[in-house]
């Protein structure tokens, strides 16, 4: 409709020094690129203090009257007993521990409100906490899918592909963890290949293994090779993403993994995965109270191991299809739950992981992005600091989708613009823009328009905004098909970030030794 000369545009080259200049390539928004987002809009607080106090009091009652069950980790039990927890032996390496109101809250006072996770490229270090927002890919799907080959088990090649697609996107800030399960690698050796892939194909921060304490240790040991042991002891360079066993259980695999990360001074995420009606109350206030109790106790373990260790309070709420009992994602009630949980995290002064681009759809279709937006906007509105599942999530977390990954990262780009907020300086108020030509005159040629047109609006790499006739002449292509073409083009354009050859060799030596030390295990 309007032609604006693309004068003054230059090709863009993003360097480690951080210099970024304009580009006319679709989907490039160099003015929005940042190593992590600093939010320019407030959080969306939907409950008042009294309601929040009622939820907190319920969490306190859960901890004090019902208690948390610990399994198969006497050391974790002893740490909590020494801190004042009331331990009841349940037999068979199982203990119920109750906590007087205020006890866990006191333990959490040494946890940092904000910390830095270091990347091997220091320009890509991320801040976690406060007004910082970090987007990371989805986590944990056994399957992958794309429009060409449909749904199949994930492989290490898929895993590497998603790291590469993440690395090349300016709209993610973190390489994530188990982006998909590399099911072609033995279960007991998988973590070595996954951690290496993050280290080699990305230069961003990442998550390590949590499936067994020794795999957590391997993950941290590989970081010592990459970053140096002294650096690792005094800086957070890796994090583990731990799930509680809801309702109200922390098993030994989990607590020993948490202890391993905390002892090394590394970060950990403490996530109850709450399917309402199955492992938590169906009502959101109850689910949020339980989530708070579980995540607080899990976080507190880190402070007993090493006060000051980074810990992230977390929440994953899902709803249920009432006729089938299937879990549902991207629905309205969990979005509300996220908004409330964000308020509670801020009252604890702790970093938060919450929600993401969730969907139960099996295709990158309208349902997929409608549900994703409902969930993802709750994440950014509730003040989430670390948004795992920011890209690729389909099929109720069972599948990583190549096309959805591209849609989600493009949406993450839009959220960079959104989270900047609305500037109200004189130039942004734009009085001169209207005064220049006055009523009834288009503003295309005003000095204000020419000054702002390159940076005023987010430029999507995927959306079709052409007139219908142009779109139709070009084949009438839908968003999923465009995303399919784009992930292939992006993978073809990928270049691995440089790595010190000596470090690379040392990492490969470590992996080879570890793999040689054990038989393949497939379960």
Enumerate residues 421-460 that contact its own copies by CB under 8 A. 421-424, 427-431, 433-435, 438-444, 448-449, 452-454, 456-460
Residue from 140, 182, 240, 247 that binds its own copies (CB under 8 A)? 247
Q: Which is nearer to its own copies, 460 or 508 (CB)?
A: 460
- Residue whose pair of structure tokens reads 């599948």 in the numeric block: 399
Q: List the structure tokens of 103.
A: 């006890």
Residue from 187, 417, 499, 506 that binds its own copies (CB under 8 A)? 417
Distances (CA, A) of 419 to 41, 170, 174, 517: 6, 15, 18, 48
Percentages helix, strand, coil for the chain (3-state, rounded to 5) are 45, 15, 40
Q: Which segments within 49-177 are labelled E, that is strand? A: 68-71, 86-89, 94-98, 114-117, 126-129, 132-135, 143-146, 150-153
Site string for its own copies, 464-503 (x = CB under 8 A): xxxxx--xx---x-xxx--x--------------------
**Cβ at position 37, least distance to its own copies in Å:** 12
Candidates 59-67, 166-174, 199-207, 300-308; binding stretch for its own copies (CB under 8 A): 59-67
Candidates 100-108, 223-231, 461-469, 484-492; binding stretch for its own copies (CB under 8 A): 461-469
Asked whether the beta carbons of 156 and 375 are under 8 A apart, the reply is no
Q: Give which of 315, 319, 311 is closest to 382, Cα–Cα.
A: 315
**Cβ at position 35, least distance to its own copies in Å:** 20
Q: Which is nearer to its own copies, 117 or 361 (CB)?
A: 361
Asked whether the beta carbons of 371 and 358 are under 8 A apart, the reply is yes
H or E stretch at 432: helix 431-437
Contact between 362 and its own copies (CB under 8 A)? yes
Candidates 155-163, 233-241, 298-306, 373-381; binding stretch for its own copies (CB under 8 A): 373-381
Give start and end residues of each alpha helix (H) in 109-251: 156-168, 190-201, 213-227, 229-234
Residues 26-55 that bind its own copies (CB under 8 A): 26, 41-42, 44-47, 51, 54-55
Candidates 78-86, 110-118, 202-210, 272-280; binding stretch for its own copies (CB under 8 A): 272-280
**Cβ at position 496, least distance to its own copies in Å:** 30
Asked whether the beta carbons of 213 and 257 are under 8 A apart, the reply is yes
Residues 288-307 that bind its own copies (CB under 8 A): 288-290
Handedness of CA 47, 48, 51, 54 (dihedral sign): positive
Residues 71-130 that bind its own copies (CB under 8 A): 96
In whole angstroms, what is the distance from residue 156 CA to residue 137 CA? 16
Residue from 266, 372, 385, 390 that binds its own copies (CB under 8 A)? 372
Residue from 161, 319, 384, 385 that binds its own copies (CB under 8 A)? 319
Asked whether the beta carbons of 427 and 456 are under 8 A apart, the reply is no
**Cβ at position 421, least distance to its own copies in Å:** 6
Contact between 166 and its own copies (CB under 8 A)? no
Q: List the structure tokens of 462.
A: 């995927």
**Cβ at position 248, least distance to its own copies in Å:** 4
Q: Which is nearer to its own copies, 231 or 471 (CB)?
A: 471
b/e map 122-160, b = 16+ CB within 10 Å: eebbbbbbbbbbbbbbbbbbebbbbbeeeeeebbbebbb
Q: How many CB atoms lie within 10 A of CB 321?
A: 11
Q: Give which of 319, 388, 377 is closest to 351, Cα–Cα.
A: 388
Q: Which is nearer to its own copies, 42 or 102 (CB)?
A: 42
**Cβ at position 407, least distance to its own copies in Å:** 6
Site string for its own copies, 375-414 (x = CB under 8 A): --x---x-------------xx-xx-------x---x--x
Candidates 10-18, 194-202, 220-228, 362-370; binding stretch for its own copies (CB under 8 A): 362-370
Asked whether the beta carbons of 312 and 108 are under 8 A apart, the reply is no
Long-range contacts of 193-198, Cβ-Cβ distance < 8 Å, separation of 24 or more: 193/156, 193/159, 193/511, 194/156, 194/159, 195/219, 195/222, 196/222, 196/507, 196/508, 196/511, 197/156, 197/159, 197/160, 197/163, 198/163
Number of chain residues interacting with its own copies (CB under 8 A): 134
**Cβ at position 12, least distance to its own copies in Å:** 14
Contact between 231 and its own copies (CB under 8 A)? no
Q: Which is nearer to its own copies, 69 or 72 (CB)?
A: 69
Residue from 111, 374, 397, 507 that binds its own copies (CB under 8 A)? 374
């Amino acid at each position: 409709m309007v032609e604006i000369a693309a004068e003054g545009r230059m090709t863009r080259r993003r360097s480690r020094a951080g210099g970024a200049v304009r580009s006319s390539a679709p989907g490039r928004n160099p003015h929005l690129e940042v190593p992590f987002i600093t939010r320019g809009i407030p959080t969306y607080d939907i409950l008042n203090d009294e309601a929040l106090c009622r939820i907190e009091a319920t969490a306190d009652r859960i901890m004090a009257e019902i208690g948390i069950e610990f399994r198969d980790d006497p050391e974790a039990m002893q740490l909590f007993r020494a801190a004042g927890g009331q331990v009841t032996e349940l037999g068979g390496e199982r203990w119920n521990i109750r906590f007087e109101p205020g006890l866990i809250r006191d333990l959490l006072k040494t946890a940092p409100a904000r910390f830095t996770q270091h990347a091997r490229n220091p320009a890509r270090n991320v801040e976690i906490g406060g007004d910082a927002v970090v987007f990371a890919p989805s986590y944990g799907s056994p399957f992958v899918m794309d429009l060409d080959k449909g749904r199949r088990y994930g492989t290490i090649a898929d895993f590497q592909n998603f790291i590469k697609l993440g690395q090349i996107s300016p709209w993610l800030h973190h390489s994530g963890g188990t982006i998909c399960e590399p099911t072609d690698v033995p279960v007991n050796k998988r973590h070595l290949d996954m951690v290496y892939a993050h280290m080699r194909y990305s230069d961003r921060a990442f998550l390590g293994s949590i499936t067994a304490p020794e795999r957590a240790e391997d993950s941290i040991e590989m970081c010592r090779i990459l970053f140096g042991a002294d650096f690792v002891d005094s800086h957070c360079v890796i994090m583990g993403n731990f799930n509680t066993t809801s309702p109200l259980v922390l098993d030994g695999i989990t607590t020993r993994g948490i202890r391993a990360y905390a002892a090394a001074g590394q970060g950990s995420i403490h996530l109850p995965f709450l399917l309402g009606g199955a492992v938590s109350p169906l009502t959101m206030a109850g689910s949020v109270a339980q989530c708070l109790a579980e995540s607080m106790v899990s976080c507190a373990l880190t402070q007993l191991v090493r006060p000051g260790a980074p810990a992230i309070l977390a929440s994953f709420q899902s709803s249920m299809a009432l006729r089938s009992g299937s879990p549902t994602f991207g629905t309205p009630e969990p979005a509300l739950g996220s908004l409330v949980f964000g308020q509670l995290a801020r009252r604890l002064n702790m970093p938060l992981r919450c929600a993401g681009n969730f969907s139960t759809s099996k295709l990158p279709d309208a349902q997929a992005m409608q549900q994703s937006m409902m969930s993802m906007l709750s994440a950014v509105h509730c003040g989430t600091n670390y948004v795992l599942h920011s890209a690729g999530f389909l099929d109720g977390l069972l599948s990583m989708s190549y096309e959805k990954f591209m849609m989600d990262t493009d949406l993450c780009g839009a959220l960079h613009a959104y989270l900047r907020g609305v500037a109200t300086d004189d130039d942004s108020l734009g009085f001169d823009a209207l005064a220049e030509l006055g009523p009834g005159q288009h503003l295309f040629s005003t000095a204000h328009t020419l000054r702002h047109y390159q940076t005023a609006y987010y430029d999507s790499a995927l959306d079709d905004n052409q007139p219908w006739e142009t779109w139709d002449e070009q084949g009438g292509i839908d968003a999923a098909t465009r995303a399919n073409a784009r992930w292939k083009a992006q993978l073809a354009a990928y270049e691995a970030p440089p790595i010190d050859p000596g470090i690379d060799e040392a990492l490969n030596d470590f992996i080879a030794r570890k793999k040689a030390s054990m038989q393949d295990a497939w379960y």
